[in-house]
Each structure stands twice: as C-alpha cells, then as structure tokens.
Amino acid sequence: MRYLHALFAGTWAIARAELAIVRRFPRILLAVVAVGVVPAIYALIYLTSVWDPAGHTADLPAAIVNLDQGVTYMSRTVNVGEELTRSLLEKRAFGFRAMTDTEAARAEVRRGTLAFALLIPADFSANAVPGTQRGAGQLVVYTSEGNNYSSAGLARRFAGELGHQVNEMLNEQRWGLVLSAASGSQARLDKLKQALLELRDGSQTLASGAAQYSAAAQQVGSGFKQVNGGIRTIESKLPADADLRALKAGSQQLASGQRELGSGLAQIGDGLAQLEGGAGQLGDGARRMQKDTADIPFVGDRISKGAAELAAGADKLRGGIDQAQAAMTKAQDGNHKLAAGATALDGGVGKLTDGMGALSAGIHTMSGKLPPDRKLDEFVQGGAQLAQGAERLSTGVRTIEAALPASITRIQGSASGLADSVEPKVEVVAPVANNGSAFVPNMVSVALWIGAVMAGYLFNIRIVLSDHSHYPKLAKTLGKITMPALIVLLQVALVLATLVGVLRVQAPDVPALALTMALASLVFLVVLFAILHVFGDFGRILTVLLLTLQLSAGGGVLPVELSAGFFRDVHGWLPFSWVVQAFRAVMFGAFDNGWAHACGVVLLSGTVAVGLMALFGKWNEVLPADYKPTIQV
C-alpha cells in the first residue's frame, strides 16, 4: 500500500510540475498547437493526394496513333484499330488524344508530356482478325518508367485490359459468324442427306451398270478376239494382187478371143453362103450335064450317071451346107451370147479384182486398227476394276450416310456470351470504400508516430525536480508522460475530425476508431520514451530508424509476404504492425473482426515499454530553475 501511495502521489506531483512548465512558459502552447495539428495536416495532405486516383485517370495525358489499314475478312471489311480508337476516345478512361505520327508520340512520352502512347500498326487488323497464331496482332503501349513509375504501371495494366478488350471484341465478332453459319447448318444438312440419298441411288445404279459393263466387256473382249482371229484368217486367205491381176488379164484375153471368134464365125457364114451358091450351081450344072450327056454314045450313060451322082452329091452338099448354115446361125447366136457374157465377165472380173483389192486393203486396215489381245485383256480387266470401284463407291456413300447425324445440335447463347463466357466473381470480405480509405490505417499510423515524436521533443523527458527524486521510477515515468500524452490526445482528436469531418471516411464504429487512435498514440509515445531513456540521445536517431523499419515491415502498403525474409521475421514484433491491423479491423472488419486482439497486442507493447522505463530509465535531477522545456518559443 505504501508503494501504491507513493506511486500515485509521485505521478500526480510530477504531472503538476509538467503543467507548471506550461504556466511558466505560456508561449510553449504555440508549439503544442503546432505539434497537435501536424499529424492531422500530414494525414490530410497525403490522403487527399491518394484518395481516389482511379477517378482522375481521365486527366492522365496519353495518345493514340492509329495507322491500321483494316482488312477484308469473309467478305466483310474490318478495321479494328478504328473501332478501338473510337471506343477509347468515347470512354475517356485516360486523357487520350489522337495523333498521326508514331515518332512524335514517342518523343512526347520521352519528354514527359505524355504518360504513355498506344501505337496501332498498319497491319494490325490483317494480323489480328484471322487469328492464325497467338499474339499475331501487336499493339504497342509506349511508356517511360523513369519519368513516372506509377504511370508506367498504369500503362502496363491498361495494356493487359486492352488486350482482353480487343480479344473479346474479336471473339464476339467471330462467334457471331459461327452462330450465323450454324443457324443454316441444319438446312444444309438436310440438303446434304437428300443429295446423299440421290448419290446412293446413283452409286447403286452405277454399280449395277458397272457389273453389266464388266460382263459385257468380257463378251466384247472375247468377241473382238474372235473377230481378230477371223480377220487374220480372211486376210491370210485373200488372193494375192498378182493373182487378181492375172485373173483380170485372162478375162480381158477371153473377151478378145471371143471377138476374134465372132469375126471368124462371120467369115465362115459368108463362106458357107458362097459354098451353098456354088453347090446349087454345081447341082444345076450336073443335072444339065446329065441331060446333055445322056445322048452321047458310048460314054453318055456313064457321064450322065456320073453327072447324076454329081447332082446328087451337090444336093447332099447343099443339104450339108444348109445344116452348116443352121449350125452357124446357132453358133453366131451363141457367139453373141458369149460376147455378152465375155463383156459381162470382163466387167465383173474388173469389179471383182478392184473389190478384192479394196477388200484386202480394208481388211488390212481393219486388222491394223483392231486392238491386240493384250489391250483387250486390259479392257476386260478395266471393266472388272470399274465394277469394283463402283461397288466401293456405293459402300462409301452408305457409310457416309450412316455417319451423318440426324440433326445438328445448335449452339446456344449469344456471340458476346460465347466470347466472354467466364467472368470471375470476386467475393470481398471487409470491403474498402476507395483507395484513400485503404491508405488510412497506414498513413494515420505514420502521422500518429510523427506526432508522438514531436510531442516527446517538446519536453525534456529525462529530467525531474530534485524534490521528486524519492518517488518510484514508475511514478516518474507516468508523471513525465502526462503532458505529451495530452498533446497526442489532442492530435488524435484533430486527426479523427479530419478523417470523419473533412475526408468523410466511413467508419462503422467511430468511438472504437477514436479509442484505437488514442491507444496507438499513447503506445507510440511510451515506446519512444523508452527508447530515449534506455539509449539516451542516440535514441533520437533510433526513433527515425524505427519508423523506417516499421514502414518497411509493417505491411501497411504491400503484403509483408512480398518483403524480404528479415522484414517478415520482425513484422510481428513491431507495434506499428499491430496498430495498422487494429485500424483495419475497426474500419473495415478485417482480420475476422480481430480488433480486440490487435489492440491487446498494442497495449501489451506499451506496457512493456513502460516497464522498461521503470526498470532501466535514467533520470537527471535538476533544480526548479533548470526545469524547462526542450525548445524555446
């Protein structure tokens, strides 16, 4: 009990001594006010600058250089560069302006007057629309990291989003063509099936005809072989040209002999007529002689008898001549017929020989034109192959017909849905209103740390009055913290008013936020005091280094997992890390609403700092005249 009484009494006495400094040096209140508003001003300036950068991207200067010449694809003229330029200028996601010179745009980016430039080459549509290979259409986003790394980062993100946008647009157009083509596929399938039915019937008819043709080809081949044999036999039996010439010459000689025979018969006829006349005269003369000589003595009888015999012989001769003339008449008639026959024979033999010559030439020509047996065998074999091919064709048609579906399953959906059918759904827990609100935990923590450092520098925290030397170290610690604590609480009030009243930060539980800020400021203050007490004046340098370390390892801007191993290891041991976590929990419900746990760790770190000051704190005892603030105002 005596220790507690000394603790409370000492704390109160030292706190009154700190307040007395303000009464003795009232101008220090100006410094107190200045120090009190610095964190609020810092938070206001920084958070205002990063409050909603996405809402101001339209002010970021950028250029579009569209050189695309377009392309005619599937009977449609497409110019993706023109469509893209028009879309970007209408959306105004960035401060785009159209340019025509690629090098001029690059030069402006290098000079810093443009954040980036979108360069669309002349063959962009020709390469992108057909989609023959991945990444064929090249868009160039030209930027300078050295001019502004953040702008270059925006340009990179824009390039990725632009690629997705262009691909989605092209895919939508392609799917439109696919759906348009698919809508008529069923009708074309029906026509195809009907055509296949006709083709099947035709192929069956062809197969049947080919089979008949093959059989006929065999018969034709066999018949032609027989014809070949017969013609060759006829050709071998035909008389030679010399024999035909001899036959023709013989018929001509026969006609000539017949003419000579006719002439001879005419001469014989003339001779017979003369002979008949002479025989008549002989008979008449013999009978006269018989009469005249009958009276001649002695020889008259015999002469008369001889004359009678001569007259009888003349009569017989005349009778024979008559018969000869009758026969001659018949002979002449026969000769006339023979002459007609000889003439006909001569003409017929001429025609026969000429015809036989022509027949021989024709048969020879025919024999030369007829295909040889080898060709006839190939012809027969071709007929068989044709029949086999026709049968295979018929089988193939039936196979295709069986393979065709009864109907086509139509693709459901729209062109835009098929082009971009997957849309990731991000379910956000502990949502944050905007970029500025997301920076509040980190920037307010930094502001409160800076405020605590400045508040601690107003007063000499290592001196106590010699009259208070007998109080416990803990009482000295708590008493010396009184005035800086009031200052940091003033800072908390001003920062809170700035957040809620000026920046309109949406906090579900403002009192809890205020409590968190107060706890953070007080803990930062005692941690700084502990460093100064343990390390002396060197501790002032350590406070700056500690701020840098906490900013690097606190996970306020980037996840600590993305930092180097050392920063990940010390992350959980830094009060700044838990203060940021407590702010996120109270403002956004982050870390599964782990606000109480984070505040507990922060409070524990403050308790440890107070304990270190109580145990290892170094105090300088001074007279009241030397009990002054650190700065002179």
- In this predicted model, which residue has the larger pLDDT, 318 or 578? 578
The neighbour count for residue 8, using CB atoms within 10 Å, is 12
Per domain, the residue ranges of the chain are 2-52+434-626, 57-183, 236-375
pLDDT at 423 over 60: no
SS3 78: strand
8 A C-beta contact, residue 622 and residue 465? yes
State the pTM of this model: 0.59
> Do β-strands 76-78 and 71-73 pair in parallel, antiparallel, or remain unpaired?
antiparallel
> Distance between CA atoms of 257 and 593, rounded to whole angstroms?
152
pLDDT at 410 over 70: no
Q: Tokens 């989609």 map to which residue?
A: 131
Angle between helices 2-24 and 473-497 (to 10 degrees): 50
- In this predicted model, which residue has the larger pLDDT, 545 or 522? 522
SS3 99: strand
**Residue partners of 150: CB distance under 8 A and separation at least 6:** none
Question: Hey, what amino acid is at 182?
Answer: A
Angle between helices 435-458 and 510-535 (to 10 degrees): 40
What pLDDT is recorded for position 200?
67
DSSP 572: T
> Distance between CA atoms of 227 and 376, rounded to whole angstroms?
12
Mean pLDDT over all residues of the chain?
76
> Distance between CA atoms of 519 and 508, rounded to whole angstroms?
18
Long-range contacts of 476-479 (CB under 8 A, 24+ apart): 476/10, 476/14, 476/617, 476/619, 477/529, 477/610, 477/613, 477/614, 477/617, 478/7, 478/11, 478/14, 478/15, 478/610, 479/10, 479/11, 479/12, 479/13, 479/14, 479/15, 479/17, 479/18
> Distance between CA atoms of 526 and 448, rounded to whole angstroms?
13
> Distance between CA atoms of 76 and 180, rounded to whole angstroms?
14
CB-hemisphere CA count at 13 Å for 444?
33
What pLDDT is recorded for position 518?
93
**Sign of the CA dihedral 189, 191, 197, 202?**
negative
SS3 620: strand
What pLDDT is recorded for position 312?
73
- In this predicted model, which residue has the larger pLDDT, 297 or 606? 606
Q: Tokens 């407590």 map to which residue?
A: 582
> Distance between CA atoms of 449 and 75, rounded to whole angstroms?
68
SS3 283: helix
Question: In CATH terms, is domain 57-183 a member of 3.90.700.10?
Answer: no
What pLDDT is recorded for position 107?
92
| pLDDT tens string 188-241 | 666 766 776 776 677 677 777 667 767 776 777 677 667 777 777 776 666 666
**Residue partners of 327: CB distance under 8 A and separation at least 6:** none
